[in-house]
Structure 1
Amino acid sequence: MVLEIDEIKKILPHRAPFLLVDRIIEIDPFKSAVGIKNVTYNEPQFHGHFPHKAIMPGVLILEAMAQVGGIAMLYPEENRGKIALFGGMDNIKFKKMVVPGDQMIMKANLLKVHGDYGKLHAESYVDDVLAAQADFTFALQRPED
């Protein structure tokens, strides 16, 4: 199943410039998702990080990976309208710089889910080379809570 940007915006509360997933190319709700982020020089972070050599900030790579995992959790109708909040990040590794012109393929797998809490492992690839990986703990909540 493919989710285009309009469907992604129905699932995630993020908006530009902080919506960091352009397309979901695979999804197995409550289990996994694979998403794409097309990295372009027009994004605001590249005007300051770093002007002489644009590099996507690691925190934004992590956020993009977490958003793909969030889509796997928030896709089911019973979770629509909730937001995924970070509880923690572990085992973070950056292996390759991500620069304008790259396409990140992000794979998120839910390791365990207990009610509105869970843990997921995510990886980001550029040209089939591992760029980053991390484990995330999260909690789902209604925005008004």
Structure 2
Amino acid sequence: MLLDVEEIKEYLPQRYPFLLVDRIVEMDLGKSIVGYKNVTINEPFFVGHFPGQPIMPGVLIIEALAQVAGVLGFKSQEKKTKRRLSLLLCRCG
């Protein structure tokens, strides 16, 4: 594991229940990143989405992708300035 949740929180403003990254396991600065979110049946969004067939809402999946991409962006720019606006593009799959 490269980054645990405590280290991730140094780069992202989101906190529980909206922090959707638990760990970063691979990272090639400026190029790619692999992160995980441990999803359990106890997640608040599963109560109504959908009863009997819980599915993580797509918008939360996209938010998780954006958070992982944010970590990559901040880590890639770390040696430069922390106050720089960066454009992040991600590809799934």
TM-score scaled to structure 1, two decimals? 0.56
Per the alignment, residue 4 of structure 2 pairs with 4
Provide the alpha-carbon RMSD of the alignment. Answer: 1.9
Letter in 2 for 1:117: S
Is 1:25 matched with 2:20?
A: no
Q: 1:28, 1:116 → 2: CA distance?
A: 20
Q: Is the 8 A contact 1:23 1:36 kept in 2?
A: yes
Q: 2:74, 2:13 → 1: CA distance?
A: 10
**What is the identity percentage for the equivalent residue pairs of Structure 1 and Structure 2?**
53
SS of residue paired to 1:27: strand
The runs of 5 or more residues in structure 2 that have no matched partner are none
Letter in 2 for 1:54: P
Counterparts of 1:120-135 in structure 2 under 5 Å? 120-123=89-92
How far residue 65 of structure 1 moved from its aligned partner, in angstroms, is: 0.8
Letter in 1 for 2:62: L
Q: Is the 8 A contact 2:11 2:71 kept in 1?
A: yes
Q: 1:18, 1:49 → 2: CA distance?
A: 16
- Which of 70, 86, 89 lines up with 1:117 in the alignment? 86
Letter in 1 for 2:73: M
TM-score scaled to structure 2, two decimals? 0.84
Q: 1:56, 1:67 → 2: CA distance?
A: 16
Q: Is the 8 A contact 1:46 1:56 kept in 2?
A: yes
More strand by share: 1
Q: 2:18, 2:91 → 1: CA distance?
A: 18
| Matched pairs, number | 90
Q: Is the 8 A contact 2:69 2:88 kept in 1?
A: no
Counterparts of 1:1-145 in structure 2 under 5 Å? 2-75=2-75, 76=78, 78-79=81-82, 116-123=85-92
How far residue 28 of structure 1 moved from its aligned partner, in angstroms, is: 2.5
